[in-house]
Amino acid sequence: GAVVSQHPSWVICKSGTSVKIECRSLDFQATTMFWYRQFPKQSLMLMATSNEGSKATYEQGVEKDKFLINHASLTLSTLTVTSAHPEDSSFYICSARTGGGGNQPQHFGDGTRLSIL
Amino acid sequence: QKEVEQNSGPLSVPEGAIASLNCTYSDRGSQSFFWYRQYSGKSPELIMFIYSNGDKEDGRFTAQLNKASQYVSLLIRDSQPSDSATYLCAVRRLHSGGSNYKLTFGKGTLLTVNP
C-alpha cells in the first residue's frame, strides 16, 4: 500500500519552456503532499507543502511564481516549473502522507529528472 | 548547527557485518524520526520510523532513539551487498507558523557492503 506515482520520470526541454509534473497517491487519500528538489550528491530540500484545496506553503528562497503548485484533489498534486532555465535542472520528488498527525510516514514518488538545455 | 547531521561516509562494511548509521538533530521539538534508503538515481524508500525513546526492530533493521541526546541511529544486521545505498535520516517537527509537519533530511550516509 501507500503508493505514490509521479509522472513524467524524465523531461528534457529547451530553456524557457514550462514543465508540469504530476504526483498521484494511488491507494490512499493524501491530505498533504510535499515537493522536494535534490541536486547531485545533496540531500532533499523541501520546496513546498501542499494541502488539498488550499494554497501551498513555500520554503524560504523558493519562488512561488516560478514553481506553481496545485493540489486540486486528495489524490493529485502538480508542480509546474515555469519558464525553466538550466539552473532549474534537478531531480524533483513528490511525497504524500496519509492523514494528519506527526507520526504518519511520508511516501515518495519515483522522482522526475528535469534537464533544461 | 545543521538541523539534521549525518556522517557522509562512505561507510564500508563486509557482507554479514552490522552496519551502524548515526544521526543527530538540533530541534528538541522534533517529534518523529525516519530512515530512508536511496539508491543512486532513485527516490527515497522508507525503511523505518520511530517516535518513542528506545529501540524498534523490523527484520534486520533496528532504529534507536534517544531524545535526551538528540540522537537516532539505524543498525543493519547481516548486511548484504543489496543494502549498499545512501541512508537518509529525516526528522519531523511542526512547521513554524503553521499546522503542517515538516520533514527535514540529513545529507545521507553512503553505505557500501562488500561481498
Q: Which of A44, A49, A101 sits opposite B95 (nearest CB)?
A: A49
* pLDDT tens per residue, range B36-59: 999 988 889 999 999 899 999 999
Asked if the Cβ–Cβ distance from A42 to B32 is below 8 Å, we say no
Q: Is B69 on the interface with A (CB under 8 A)?
A: no
Q: Which of A6, A46, A51 sits opposite B102 (nearest CB)?
A: A46
Q: Residue B112 half-sphere exposure, CB side, CA atoms within 13 Å? A: 6
Cα(B27)–Cα(B42) distance, rounded to whole angstroms? Answer: 28
DSSP helix/strand/coil, B29:
coil
Nearest CA in chain A to B97: A57
- What pLDDT score was predicted for residue B1? 63
- What pLDDT score was predicted for residue B7? 85
Distance to chain B for A41, nearest Cα, Å:
8
Distance to chain B for A110, nearest Cα, Å:
5
* pLDDT tens per residue, range A14-38: 999 999 999 999 988 888 899 999 9
End-to-end CA distance of chain A: 37
Q: Is B49 exposed, middle or buried (0-12, 13-18, 19+ CB in 10 A)?
A: buried
DSSP B41: T
For A87, phi then psi, to 5°, come to -70, -10
* pLDDT tens per residue, range A47-95: 999 888 788 999 999 999 999 999 888 899 999 999 999 999 999 999 9
- What pLDDT score was predicted for residue A103? 63
